[in-house]
Structures are given as C-alpha cells and as structure tokens.
C-alpha cells in the first residue's frame, strides 16, 4: 500500500510513500506520520491510501505518530475546502485544524508516578512509624500520585522506595490527565421552563436535528441581550446528546470566561446525559490543550466549547454547532489561513449533516441577509427572558456642548450629572470609548461634518504632514480643508480630535477625585488574571466607574451597573471601513445591553457629534430591522457585502516604488485574467489604511464579486504564477472583516 502525504512544509504538493511492513494496519487517512524528505525527516498527514503511485522509487514512511489517526475524513474534507476558498494552500489549512499541542512527534501526555498499596500475605515486616504512616495513606487511596503522598506525609522519596523494595507498595508511571477546571466547584443546573419564544426556537432546531434529509439546517437566532439564547443552546445540545450526537459551541475569545464555560459544564456535569465538556482555549497550557483535545478525539467529551479554532474540534457524529455572538469579528483569523470560523462552521455542518445555530442580538448583515434570502432559517426572540426592561438610551449632541465650552469637553454636563448621581446612590457606571478612531478622520466639532470619499463612501483619512485627505480603498486624494466646508458652518477650527481611554480616565479622576476608577483595555490587561480580577472588583462593588474599550461590551452581567456612557460614539463611525456603521450599531446595542441587568432600570447616554447618524438612532430605539433596511440600501448602492463578497490583496515591501509599481502591475494582470467575470469590481491600488509600518510600505487592491469561489481559484493561480519582485510580498484575504 501507498500513502499520500501532505507534509508540514509549504510545498504546494503532496508526496507518495510506501507503507513498510512494520507499519502495516496502522496507517489510515488522517494519520500523522514521519517521512523522509530530501535529507530531512518531516512530519505530515496522510490524505489518501493508494494501490499504486505514478512516481517510481518511493521511500518508506518512518513512523506513525500517536495511537489514533488525528484528522477524520470529514475534517480533511473541510481543510481541503478551506485551502481552496481562502487561497492558503492545503498545508496551511491542514496545520490549522490541529492545535500545535497535538501536532508534536512526542506524545503529549503527562506521566506521573503513582503509588499503590499491594495486598499483604501473612505478618508484615517491622516498620518505622513514618513507614506505617505512608502505608496507611496508600491503603486509604486506591492510587495516589507519589508527589501528593510525599506532600501529605512529609516523607522522603527514599523511604517510599524502601517500602517498594519490601514488596508493600508498587510505584509505576501512569498518564495523569490535566483538568484546567479542576479547581472550580461547579454545581449542576436543571433546564429552565422555556417561554413561548424560546420554545418555538427550540422546536424548530429540534425538528432539524431529528430529520435526516438535507433541508434547512442552518439557523440564525436573533434574540435581544437577555432573551435567553444560552438556555436555547443548552437544551438544543441536550437534544443532540439524546440522539447520540456531539456538539461544538463557539464563543468569542473575549467571552470565553469561566462563567460562560461554567454554564455549559454545570448543565452536563450530572444527570443521565452526563458528559465531559472539553474546553479549547488559548489561555490553557499546551499540556491542558493537548489533553482536552484528546478527550474529544477519544469520544469521552461529547461537547467542545472554545473560541475560533474549536470549529475544528474532532467531535465524531457531530449533531450541532452553536456560534454565539456570530457577528463578532474575532471569529476571523487575521493570519493565514484567514478563515472565518462562523462560515467554516456553516460549511462543516453542511458537510457532516449537522445543524448549525448562529446566535446574536445584533446579527452581522451577512447572516441576516442570508436569513432573508432563505439560506438560513430566522428565529426571533424579541423580548428579555428575565422580564427586565430594555434600558433607556439618550443621545447627547456634542456639537451643542462644543459651542458652549471654550475647550473641547470630554464629558457633557448631562453625563457628568448622571455619573455624580450614581456615585451618590452607590451605583456603578461603565464608560465606554471605541478607540478604533485612531485612524485620523477629520471631523468638525461644531457641525459634525466628516470628509468622505465620493466613490466609496468611507471616511477619508487625514494625513497631517501632507495636509491631504486620502481614501484607503480607491486611492482618491484631496487637499485637507482649512475651514469646515459646510456652507452653514465654516468653522475655522476644523480638526481631528484624538481621544483615548487614558485621557478619559484622567479627566474623570480630576472631575470625581473620590471615585474609585478603573481602566480596562488591552494596555492595562497584561495578564489573563487581570481581566478576572477587575471584573471581580466590579461585581463586589470595589469599583465605582469602569472605563474601557469594546472589551467591556461583551456579555457581562453586573446588576449594580445602572449607567452606561458612550463617550464618543462617532469614533467608530468615521473610519475608512464601510462596516463602520454596522460596528457602531452593534457596539452601542451590546453596550446598552450592559445596563439594567439588575433590579434598577438602566440608563445609557451616548455622546456624539453626529447624533442623527442612523447607526446611533436605530441603536437608541433598539431597532435592528430598521437599521438593516437602511444600511442595506447603502451597501446595495455601492455593491458592498453582503451584496457581494470581498477579496483584499495586500502588497508590501521595503521599497515604496517597487511596491507601488507591483500593485499597478497586479491590477493590470487581474483585469486581464478576470475578464470573464462580468460582475467583478476592482478598486485601487491605494495606500493601505496602515500605509507604512516601521520597515514596510503597503498597498492594497479590493475586489468585489458575487462569485467568490470562482475568484478564489483565479487568485490561487495568480499568486502561484505572478512574477513579483523578490522583496515584494502579496497576501490574499477572502471576506476580510477589518479593513483598517
Ligand atoms: P442571552 O444569552 O440571550 O443574552 P441569557 O441566556 O444569558 O440570555 O439569559 C438572560 C437571563 O434570563 C439569565 O439570567 C437566564 O438565567 C434567564 N432566563 C433565560 N431563560 C429563562 C426562562 N425560560 N425562564 C426564566 N429565566 C430565564
Ligand atoms: Zn474611494
């Protein structure tokens, strides 16, 4: 027999090897193997078994890794699809489906020495008191790790060894499995009685789980914050388990908190359906990740919960995939392969005839569009399950504030007053700043005017040194105005006003010197414990005001937070990314969902220089459908996603001229080779939003089409054959979510 192998090297092709007699029967599709390659030994994955090979003189495989194949045929198929669709090649795709911790040659189990008391016949030898103690301890435990025995008895290793010599104890190495949640005590929970909306949603999911036919198995669960989506997930998983099927739950990295994991573990930690819930998480140690992965692979854990890469969890007989907060951009991997876990989940579910549920309070326009077109089945849960009211959202017009203050104010009088009230009532405040605004747009503080590209309708970026405004999508340029161009305004002080969480924090401190203020953003969170500690301090009331970036917008429940302030809502709107409105709408809605989780009704204050922007107004009214209709008109006009799909080509290199020249050349080649694609739009080349890093110049070209699978194939061929200067590199990003 012959094995076809994809080696862990980016070679763009596969190699055939003989299966030697001593490995007979151990090699299947998906087995990891070690093979000779040139003068090296390289690891790889078997992708096919063949009777014969077109190549002569095959070399034999050297070794099989592990006792069980790593990649199931289903995952292999998924990796193939990913390699093609995301233009990343089969090696990169295959590499991604296995976590680093299980790809190693050496097996990753932790072995520990265990001590076991041996049965004793007849009278025992005379023992010291220490030795008696040790023996007692060992007899009291079926099997004790040696380390623990030593710690408990205070004995030395030698003393224990002597008991082994006397035939009283056996000491032997054994695999000891790591459990990252061993220290948590998790109390089991019971299913809640569902309300009508939840029951309706579950009934539809249940019908799909039961039917074997192919029709609609993809659902979009649109439920407002607190509508009880998680309960629907839990009961849907229970149904899948009942049928002997497994489940995967994807949550954004940031919401993969112990509380989230606990909710799933608690439901399935006891009862007739008791099963292990394995957690795949970047905060686990490599060893823990290895063990959790194998718990799934061996079928002992039937539920896998994790961030992005858990979509590849080796769950057999997969019945259900849940993608919570499906609109989250962190599902997209920002390095090759640039896959989107939500989209991979939908494809995987389709391949394995599983049901997929995408859930969100603010679905991505892509998913909502798919639901409207009938590709997904839409399930709506418009009311909170806990009978809490939706918070009241007020928008504060910062232009008015700017007209009355001499210096630009960070906090409007209304917000200051509201914070003061909370301090007096011993309630808590969260202040939120969307810091993505650092890409400097030019905004007039008096009228709210922002310069936009006439062709792309994204904000122009202000280049201070050249005094120019530039479009980072199509390359349009104009001179930066010295006075506000609005005829009614003509403000001579038009300028970009930068604002960061740090400045907000210090301004707060001088306004409210007695308040206990804490800032939470990626700068202040150096270690993973910081996040938990700060949240713990908020929960226990040690913090009065929490200041943070989008990091604090996610599913946190704080009953005593009654005020949420959004300091500068425009920051996320006027960016060179056509999704600016969508993101702002999502963030405002999510942040607003943080207020009023307790008994006191919540209040949300949104400060903005463009208070009538649709993203702000629809979020104020909690009106997703209204926002969708209005935003889709804009997307339709400019042929942006979800009407089309985007491929973003980025060229970078040290020499600006060469990069620029290559970009122009690439554009000509593209135009030539895509001549058959009638709907293709090519924008650019333009300087990328991050136009210059320390060492590199970057240019990009944006392609928009409805036929992405076709374009992907063309792009793969193009990147393989294009003659670019050596020091210019190109990356392809299919369905980018972040254009900044
Ligand atoms: P979501 O995931 O949609 O934000 P959650 O699942 O967190 O909502 O539910 C919000 C709150 O409502 C939780 O405290 C949850 O325990 C409660 N809840 C959910 N469903 C029910 C129900 N059927 N009956 C009573 N309380 C419920
Ligand atoms: Zn433009």
**Residue 376 pLDDT exceeds 90:** yes
State the pairing for strand pair 32-37/40-50: antiparallel
Considering every ligand atom shown, identify the ligand nearest to the alpha carbon of residue 322 and give its number. 1
**Rounded alpha-carbon distances, angstroms, from residue 84 to 318, 380, 512, 522, 555:** 23, 34, 56, 34, 35
Report d(CA 495, CA 464) in Å as an integer: 10
The pocket of ion ligand 2, defined by CB under 5 A, consists of 453, 455-456, 471, 473-474, 476
Residue ranges lining ligand 1, Cβ < 6 Å: 192-195, 198, 223, 225-231, 385-386
Task: Average the pLDDT over 504-519 and give the result.
Answer: 89
Q: Which ligand is nearest to the CA of 471?
A: 2
Measured in angstroms, how far is the CA atom of residue 225 from the centroid of ligand 1? 9
Residue 506 clears pLDDT 70, i.e. is over it: yes
Q: How far is the CA of 259 from the centre of ligand 1 (A)?
A: 14
- Residue 278 DSSP label: E
Atom number, ligand 1, closest to the C-alpha of residue 555: 4
Span of 298-307, 461-470, 491-500, 596-605 with lowest mean pLDDT: 491-500
- The alpha-carbon radius of gyration of the chain (Å, integer) is 29
Mean local confidence (pLDDT), 370-385: 93
Residue with the nearest Cα to atom 10 of ligand 1?
226
Taking the CA of residue 230 as reference, the ligand 1 atom at the shortest distance is: 6
- Whether 578 has a pLDDT exceeding 70, the answer reads yes
Residue 192 has pLDDT above 70, yes or no: yes
Best residue among 191, 226, 387, 555 to mutate for probing ligand 1's pocket (most ligand atoms within 8 Å of CB) is 226
pLDDT band (50, 70, 90) for residue 599? low
- In which order are the strands placed within the sheet that holds 144-145? 144-145, 111-117, 169-175
Q: Considering every ligand atom, which ligand is closest to the CA of 385?
A: 1
**Nearest residue CA, atom 4 of ligand 1?**
226
Cβ contacts of 566 within 8 Å, gap of 6 or more = 431, 432, 433, 434, 588, 591, 604, 605, 606, 607, 608
Per residue in 35-51, pLDDT (tens digit) is 999 899 999 999 999 99
Position in ligand 1 atom list of the atom nearest CA 224: 3
Return the pLDDT at 212.
Answer: 66
Residue 216, phi-psi category: left (phi > 0), alpha (psi -120 to 50), beta (remainder): beta
pLDDT at 642: 96
Among the bound ligands, the one closest to the CA of 559: 1
How is residue 615 annotated by DSSP?
A: H
Residue 453 CA to ligand 2 center (angstroms) comes to: 5
> Distance (Å, rounded) from C-alpha 292 to C-alpha 277?
9
Please give the sequence-ordered ranges of beta strands (E in DSSP) within 593-675, or none if there are none: 603-608, 645-653
Question: In the sheet that 681-692 helps form, which strands lie side by side, from edge to edge?
Answer: 681-692, 697-705, 645-653, 729-734
The protein residue whose alpha carbon is closest to atom 23 in ligand 1 is: 194
Q: Which residue has the higher pLDDT, 200 or 567?
A: 200
pLDDT of residue 438: 45
Q: How far is the CA of 626 from the centre of ligand 1 (A)?
A: 25
Of 18-22, 344-348, 453-457, 658-662, least confident by mean pLDDT is 453-457
Q: In angstroms, what is the span from residue 227 Cα to ligand 1's centroid? A: 6
**C-alpha 473 to ligand 2 mean position (Å):** 5
Torsion sign (Cα): 510, 511, 516, 522 = negative
Residue 210 CB coordination number (10 Å): 10
* pLDDT at residue number 694: 67
H or E segment at 16? strand 15-18
State the pLDDT at residue 439.
47
Q: How far is the CA of 478 from the centre of ligand 2 (A)?
A: 11
In this structure, the residue with its CA closest to atom 19 of ligand 1 is: 228
Helix axes 501-511, 413-425, angle to 10 degrees: 60
Q: Of 59-63, 397-401, 486-490, 529-533, which has the strongest mean pLDDT? A: 59-63
Name the closest-CA residue to atom 5, ligand 1.
Answer: 228
Rounded distance between C-alpha atoms, residue 440 and residue 424, angstroms: 37
Which candidate, 622, 678, 658, 723, places its Cα nearest to that of 227? 622
Q: pLDDT class for 595, splitting at 50, 70, 90?
A: low
Pocket test for ligand 1, best of 195, 228, 599 (most atoms within 8 A of CB): 228
Structure tokens at 286: 């490599």
Helix (H/G/I), strand (E/B), else coil: 377: strand
Average pLDDT, integer, range 354-383: 95
Name the percent of the chain lying above pLDDT 90.
43
Question: How many CA atoms within 13 Å lie on the side-chain side of 728?
Answer: 24
Encode pLDDT of 122-156 as tens digits: 777 788 888 888 888 888 887 888 888 888 888 88
Give the model's confidence band at 437: pLDDT under 50 very low, under 70 low, under 90 confident, else very high.
Answer: very low
CA 627 distance to own-chain centroid: 24
- Give the position, in ligand 1's atom list, of the atom nearest the Cα of 386: 12
What local confidence, expressed as pLDDT, does residue 314 receive?
Answer: 95
Fill in the DSSP letter of residue 727.
T
> Which of 698, 696, 697, 671 lies closest to 683, judged by CA?
671
Low-confidence winner among 28-42, 492-506, 665-679, 705-719 (lowest mean pLDDT): 492-506
Tell me the mean pLDDT in the region 720-737: 90
Q: For residue 189, what is the DSSP state? A: -
DSSP for 50-86 reads ES--SSSSPPBP-EEESSS-SS-HHHHHHHHHHHHHT
Q: In this predicted model, what pLDDT tens digit does every residue of 239-294 receive, in sequence order?
A: 999 999 999 999 998 777 778 888 998 898 877 777 888 999 877 888 888 888 98
CA distance 409 to 427: 24
Closest ligand 1 atom, CA of 193? 23
- Predicted confidence at residue 254, as pLDDT, reads 73
**Which pLDDT tens digit goes with each residue over 654-703?**
998 999 999 999 999 999 998 889 899 999 898 887 777 667 888 999 99
Q: Residue 429 pLDDT more than 70? A: yes
Q: Name 629's Cβ contacts closer than 8 Å, sequence gap at least 6.
A: none
Atom from ligand 1 closest to the CA of residue 381: 3
The number of the ligand 1 atom at minimal distance from the alpha carbon of 231 is 6
| pLDDT at position 140 | 84
| 3-class DSSP state of 619 | helix
Summary mean pLDDT of the chain = 86
User: What is the mean pLDDT of the segment spanning 441-447?
Assistant: 78
Tell me what pLDDT residue 99 has. Answer: 84
pLDDT in tens, 57-97: 899 999 998 877 888 999 999 999 999 999 988 888 998 99
């Amino acid at each position: 027999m012959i094995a076809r192998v994809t080696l862990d090297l980016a070679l763009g092709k596969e190699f055939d090897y003989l299966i030697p007699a001593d490995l007979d029967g151990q090699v299947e599709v998906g087995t990891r193997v070690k093979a000779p390659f040139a003068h090296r030994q390289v690891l790889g994955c078997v992708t096919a078994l063949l009777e014969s090979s077109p190549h002569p003189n095959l070399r034999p495989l050297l070794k099989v890794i592990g006792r069980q194949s790593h990649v199931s045929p289903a995952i292999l198929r998924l990796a193939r699809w990913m390699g093609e669709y995301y233009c990343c090649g089969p090696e990169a795709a295959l590499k991604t489906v296995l976590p680093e911790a299980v790809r190693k040659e050496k097996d990753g189990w932790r072995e520990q020495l265990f001590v076991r008391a041996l049965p004793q016949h007849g009278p025992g030898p005379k023992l010291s008191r220490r030795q008696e103690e040790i023996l007692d301890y060992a007899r009291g435990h079926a099997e004790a790790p040696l380390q623990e025995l030593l710690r408990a008895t205070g004995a030395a290793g030698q003393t224990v060894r002597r008991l082994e010599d006397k035939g009283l104890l056996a000491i032997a190495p054994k695999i000891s499995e790591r459990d990252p949640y061993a220290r948590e005590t998790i109390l089991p929970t019971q299913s809640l009685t569902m309300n009508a909306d939840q029951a309706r949603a579950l009934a539809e999911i249940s019908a799909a789980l039961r039917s074997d036919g192919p029709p609609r198995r993809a659902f979009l669960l649109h439920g407002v914050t607190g509508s009880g989506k998680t309960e629907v997930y839990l009961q849907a998983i229970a149904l899948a388990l009942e049928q002997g099927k497994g489940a995967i739950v994807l949550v954004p990295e940031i919401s993969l908190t112990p509380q989230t994991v606990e909710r799933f573990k608690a439901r399935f930690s006891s009862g007739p359906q008791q099963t292990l819930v394995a957690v795949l998480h970047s905060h686990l140690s490599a060893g823990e990740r290895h063990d959790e992965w194998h718990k799934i692979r061996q079928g002992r854990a039937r539920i896998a919960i994790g961030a992005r890469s858990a979509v590849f969890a080796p769950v057999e007989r997969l019945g259900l995939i849940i993608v919570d907060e499906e609109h989250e951009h962190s599902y997209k991997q920002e390095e090759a392969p640039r896959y989107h876990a939500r989209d991979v989940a939908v494809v995987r579910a389709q391949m394995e005839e599983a049901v997929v549920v995408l859930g969100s309070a603010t679905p991505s326009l892509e998913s909502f569009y798919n639901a409207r077109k009938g590709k997904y089945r839409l399930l709506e849960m418009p009311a909170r399950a806990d009978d809490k009211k939706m918070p009241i959202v007020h928008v504060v017009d910062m232009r008015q504030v700017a007209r009355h203050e001499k210096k630009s104010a960070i906090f409007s009088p209304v917000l200051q007053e509201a914070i003061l009230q909370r301090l007096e009532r011993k309630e808590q405040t969260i202040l939120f700043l969307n810091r993505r605004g650092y890409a400097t747009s030019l905004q007039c503080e008096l009228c709210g005017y922002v310069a936009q590209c006439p062709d792309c309708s994204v904000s122009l970026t202000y280049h201070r040194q050249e005094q120019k405004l530039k479009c980072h999508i199509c390359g349009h340029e104009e001179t930066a105005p010295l006075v506000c161009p609005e005829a009614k305004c003509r403000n001579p002080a038009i300028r970009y006003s930068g604002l960061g969480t740090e400045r907000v924090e210090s301004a707060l401190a001088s306004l409210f010197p007695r308040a206990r203020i804490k800032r939470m953003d990626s700068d202040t969170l150096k270690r993973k414990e910081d996040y938990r500690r700060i949240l713990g301090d908020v929960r226990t009331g040690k913090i009065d005001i929490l200041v943070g970036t989008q990091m604090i917008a996610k599913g946190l429940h704080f009953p005593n937070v009654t005020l949420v302030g959004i300091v500068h809502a425009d920051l996320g709107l006027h960016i060179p990314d056509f999704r600016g409105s969508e993101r702002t709408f999502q963030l405002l809605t999510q942040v607003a969902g943080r207020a009023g989780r307790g008994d006191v009704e919540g209040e949300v204050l949104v400060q903005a220089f463009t208070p009538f922007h649709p993203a702000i107004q629809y979020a104020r009214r909690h009106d997703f459908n209204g926002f969708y209709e209005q935003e889709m008109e804009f997307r339709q006009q400019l042929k942006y996603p979800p009407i089309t799909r985007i491929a973003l080509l980025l060229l970078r290199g040290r020499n600006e001229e060469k990069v620029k020249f290559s970009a122009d050349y690439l554009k000509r080649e593209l135009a030539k080779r895509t001549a058959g694609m009638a709907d293709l739009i090519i924008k650019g080349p333009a300087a990328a939003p991050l136009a210059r890093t320390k060492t590199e110049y970057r240019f990009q070209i944006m392609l928009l089409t409805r036929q992405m699978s076709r374009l992907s194939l063309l792009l793969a061929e193009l990147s393989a054959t294009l003659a670019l200067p050596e020091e210019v590199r190109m990356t392809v990003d299919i369905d980018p979510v972040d254009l900044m």
